[in-house]
Amino acid sequence: MMEKMIFGRFIPGNSIIHQMDPRAKISFVFVFIAIVFIANSAVTYGILLGFTLLVVFLSKIRLYFLINGLKPVFILLIFTFFLHIFFTREGDLLLDIGFIEIYEEGLRQGIFISIRFLVLVFITSILTLTTSPISITDGIEVLLGPFKRVKLPVHELALMMSISLRFIPTLMDETGKILKAQMARGSDIGSGPMKERIKAVVPLLIPLFVSAFKRAEDLATAMEVRGYRGGEGRTRYRQLDWRFVDSLSLLVLAGLAGMLWYFRV
């Protein structure tokens, strides 16, 4: 189950989307989220869906893989779909079997909302699937750069994010070890009533916290020794490279917005 989930996962590759600048991709996603709300008719939603499938195709990520990985999202999607179908009472009555009445407007809304949801989830997943977490962090740091003027600690936030990302596998390993150590002492997290299970988590969390604090302290020392004194006067090893495709992608997005505007009713 967990292995199949693709939320927040990165699949290395060399598609044109993989090679794009993270700044371009992040901006693209945010603008896209806004643009989606222009659509309000069959034609415009059709265009959105087509465009999204084109992006998926360009990313060379298999549609089947994407759909399979987003299964939990689909449950939510189907749920909202039926919610709209059953509770919108406008337009002609299409179907009436006793207590279930389906109206034309309900069906329309159900389909539209589902498409909107689907394209949003697909496009954001494509962002995280094709961009390594560290590049996303780099992109966010640069994009948020202007907010340094209003004293937003942009550099510190980005560093915190990248260090957290770096320590996720380490802490996961550690959790595994502590779990085994506690199991060897007879603690049983996998079974029993809920209350017992929650109680069993405490001896797992406490050693994990203690060690995380120890790690944080060591890391702070190691950083200081290596000359870290905040973002002032620092240079960057990772350079972002804005190329023609990046500008092009934003132009295409503007074109999409124009088209949606033209066809909306």
Partner 1 sequence: MNSNILSFENVTFTYAPEDETVKPAVKDLSFSIQDGEWIALVGHNGSGKSTIAKLMNGLLFPQTGKVSAMGRMMEEESLWDIRSQMGMVFQNPDNQFVGATVQDDVAFALENNGVPHKEMVLRVKEALHQVKMEAYFDHEPHHLSGGQKQRVAIAGALALRPRLLILDEATSMLDPQGRMEVIETIRELRRATGLTVISITHDLEEAAMADRILVMNAGHKQLEGTPEAVFLSGNQLTTMGLDLPFAMRMTHLLREAGVELEAEHMTEDELVDDLWTYYSRK
Site for partner 1 in 118-157 (CB under 8 A): 132-134
Of all residues in the chain, what percent are helix, strand and coil, respectively (each to 5)?
Answer: 70, 5, 25
144's tokens: 């948020």
Please select the residue that binds partner 1; options are 147, 228, 242, 262, rule is CB under 8 A: 228
Does position 223 bind partner 1 by CB under 8 A?
yes
Range in contact with partner 1 (rule: CB under 8 A) among 82-90, 177-185, 200-208, 230-238: 230-238
Burial class of residue 99 (count of CB atoms within 10 Å of its CB; 0-12, 13-18, 19+): exposed
Sketch the per residue contact string, 172 through 211, with partner 1: x for CB under 8 A, - otherwise: -x--------------------------------------
88 in Cβ contact with 103 (< 8 Å)? yes
The Cα-based distances of 205 to 196, 216, 247, 262 in angstroms read: 15, 16, 47, 56
Shortest Cβ 261–partner 1 spacing (Å):
41
Burial class of residue 130 (count of CB atoms within 10 Å of its CB; 0-12, 13-18, 19+): buried
Please select the residue that binds partner 1; options are 37, 64, 79, 237, rule is CB under 8 A: 237
Range in contact with partner 1 (rule: CB under 8 A) among 81-89, 91-99, 116-124, 158-166: 158-166
Identify which of residues 159 and 253 has a Cβ nearer to partner 1 in the complex.
159
122's tokens: 């697909």
Please select the residue that binds partner 1; options are 193, 195, 239, 265, rule is CB under 8 A: 239
247's tokens: 């500008």
DSSP string, 132-198: -HHHHHHHHHHHTGGGGGGT--HHHHHHHHHHHHHHHHHHHHHHHHHHHHHHHTT---SSS-HHHHH
189 in Cβ contact with 201 (< 8 Å)? yes
Range in contact with partner 1 (rule: CB under 8 A) among 63-71, 114-122, 161-169, 198-206: 161-169
State the Cα angle at 228 between 224 and 232, rounded to 5°: 150
Smallest CA-to-CA distance from 155 within 132, 168, 138, 136 is with 138
Which residue has tokens 């500008």? 247
Identify which of residues 191 and 235 has a Cβ nearer to partner 1 in the complex.
235
18 in Cβ contact with 132 (< 8 Å)? no
Please select the residue that binds partner 1; options are 90, 156, 196, 224, rule is CB under 8 A: 224
Identify which of residues 4 and 236 has a Cβ nearer to partner 1 in the complex.
236
Identify which of residues 30 and 228 has a Cβ nearer to partner 1 in the complex.
228
Range in contact with partner 1 (rule: CB under 8 A) among 26-34, 47-55, 90-98, 237-245: 237-245
Does position 170 bind partner 1 by CB under 8 A?
yes
Range in contact with partner 1 (rule: CB under 8 A) among 47-55, 144-152, 197-205, 232-240: 232-240
Does position 238 bind partner 1 by CB under 8 A?
yes
Q: Which residues bind partner 1 (CB under 8 A)?
A: 132-134, 162-163, 165-166, 169-170, 173, 214-215, 218-219, 221-229, 233-239
